[in-house]
A and B are shown apart, each in its own frame.
Chain A
């Protein structure tokens, strides 16, 4: 009788089965997203309006971009706590450049390059090349950059009137808001880097087993330095988006940014120790957090509830993933 049962005990290897298998880590967050979306769509007539949906997305453009960078850091098995401080630092730098008479386009390019350099050159080199703990290094750079920003800006925000930032926040291209374009392009680039390059494979390998990756001849130091450069680049982009939305370069360091980004990445099914997951899940994670925040505020529920719900769901989603992994 046992033998009769075992006859069809072979794993499903059809094409559909394979896609199902590889996308399994997306299921919990996808279910959550659909659930919250449906609940808010039914309970609140304003929720589905074009204006609200656009607001839902654009108000989370910064989180989206930062979370894309954070995904690579976490796939490689690390975490970047310094993104909030680096964002504030770069925002002030952008403001200073404009005040010094540099044109908007050049300031934008310099800021983004500086983001890559700060992330890769400071966090990346200290963690990748010198082998220091990522928690130690990113915590230290969070603190140091916070101090630098306050010294440099004298804790004063810099009001900014520039066509670059205005058009990022409010401009349209082909009828779609520029922030949405930025989100889309960031996602596509991240997806390509992750799935269609050897570099993407390196990131997974380093996160999965750094020692094995090194013994296979992969340049693990460079791989790690690069993920922090990516995170720094994402912070720069997010800083500029933030300036566009608020009309000023603020020296306030928002340390919720890295935490929310980490939450989005984890919700999206990326393993906390690295090596599996990806930007697809992160996109769903950000969309879920965005929907939850937007829906709750539409329903006049305190945003503190959003934090409580996020915490509970974060743990549940990870537990769900683990149950799924154990079969």
Chain B
């Protein structure tokens, strides 16, 4: 099913009689057997716009950004900047033409100052052979002022929060006098308040006629900040145009090709009589948790909502035994948990999907097989021989349940897309059939379809009697997935609500405790639920 308005979309954006600020046409790029781009377009009409780029993982977004920022050379297609056809052979080429990229993974040097980070790349002011620190500092301050940031240029980047580090990167990008700044998923590790700060910076860039190309999986952000957008699927531009022409449904349809029906029916409510699968009694952990008590029954999905620093991740780490508990008690299935770190937690039937799949969830160089089987076999005699005959059906069953199509269980997981990698992380925990499933940011950085499938799967294992405790920075995810939501702030439980009675706005209000700055509440949300 292809939308019929693909061809006319680019023309629609262009105001008559003036060259577009940026036009990518017919981009095509192959890597070996992989056709990453096959005729992708992207048009930004004029300076000072925020343009959204959307697409599932593997749709060619990264390659397109790579071409635009000079990291990759396209096999075919043109790049026009203000009407001039250009070809970038390196990132410094692109920089010279005013295109700067802020990568998804933060590229700051933590032990250097804000000044040094902003002016990285031999751009510190010099007098003779030596660095002129005071004028370098002034140079950095001027850039920070443009962004309305009151950072001291002498701060070490190590001491900054993730969103502040992101700002430093943006400052670096615009300090090169960039006319187009590419932000590749800048919000994936930010909480709502930090996203708001980022958006303020984007707005001030727009006011200075700097164009922002913004990549995000979160539709509400696209609606909140973007003026126009481009949607990619399978390496092709499916549609592009002003943001007013879209709503959440049409975007999702364009991204997934109309196949995925994204709403999942809520499962039956868990029975109320059974003993809790997981209970925390007055749990304390120095510096992050104070007097936290909660219980999760088999079949129940309980959400943990809170800003970064609220203790929701730390709570899961305590339960899984990777963070020290300094007071209170944890009981699993009615009996007290006895330490022993992750190994002990796994033995008592707890599974933990960590927030960062690349750092914590997967051995990327390992195969799908060894990753999926690692937890289920962690308790076995180490000198035993792993049997493929025993493993293959287990892996095949999990892959079917997850809708992962794999040809080769022995291929390294680093070759898989982000969504499939996340499913492998889930699969390795489900392979051991746990009673308690702890999820921290279970769908961070995965595409819409994978997200829907992961949610569907979590719900299914819950109906089969697993107790699920899920922490997420995305309120819609919690509302969509959970039966009950626990709101944390500064390490304490501030409220517990039935998901059916809560809304994104009420959750955010509760999560920002008195004294903290209110997060994005009040911004008009056109999206929901994905």
Contacts and interface: CB of A to CB of B under 8 A. Distances in A.
B359 A217 contact: no
Nearest to A210: B363
B342 A18 contact: no
Interface string B310-327: 000000000010100000
Contacts of A196: 385-386
A271 B365 contact: yes
Interface size class of B (residues with CB under 8 A): 35 or more
A2 interface: yes
A198 B410 CA distance: 15
Contacts of B382: 197-199, 202
A104 interface: no
Interface stretch (B34-42, B115-123, B220-228, B448-456): B34-42
Nearest to B33: A9
Interface centre among B32, B320, B343, B365 (most CB of A within 10 A): B365
B524 to A, nearest CB: 40
A101 interface: no
Interface centre among B352, B363, B378 (most CB of A within 10 A): B363
A121 interface: no
Contact of A215 (B342, B384, B385, B408): B342
A216 B378 contact: yes
B32 A327 contact: yes
A interface SS class = helix
A213 interface: yes
B375 interface: yes
B173 interface: no
Contact of A21 (B366, B378, B411): B411
Given A205-B370, A216-B374, A327-B31, A2 B364 contact: no
A10 interface: yes
A212 B375 contact: no
Nearest to A9: B33
Interface residues of A, number: 35
A113 B341 CA distance: 31
Nearest to A21: B411
Interface string A1-42: 011011001110100001001100000000000000000000
Contacts of A202: 382
Interface string A179-212: 0000000000000000011110110110111011
Interface centre among B354, B366, B408, B411 (most CB of A within 10 A): B366
B379 interface: yes
A244 interface: no
Contacts of A3: 38
A275 B407 contact: no
Given A11-B33, A208-B363, A275-B365, A215 B410 contact: no
A218 interface: yes
A199 B410 contact: no
B380 interface: yes
A129 interface: no
Nearest to B76: A2
A217 B340 CA distance: 10
B360 A201 contact: no
Given A9-B34, A205-B374, A217-B378, A212 B362 contact: yes
Interface centre among A9, A22, A208 (most CB of B within 10 A): A208
Interface of A: 2-3, 5-6, 9-11, 13, 18, 21-22, 196-199, 201-202, 204-205, 207-209, 211-219, 271, 275-276, 327
10 contacts: A11-B33, A197-B386, A201-B377, A208-B363, A209-B360, A209-B362, A209-B365, A216-B342, A218-B374, A276-B412
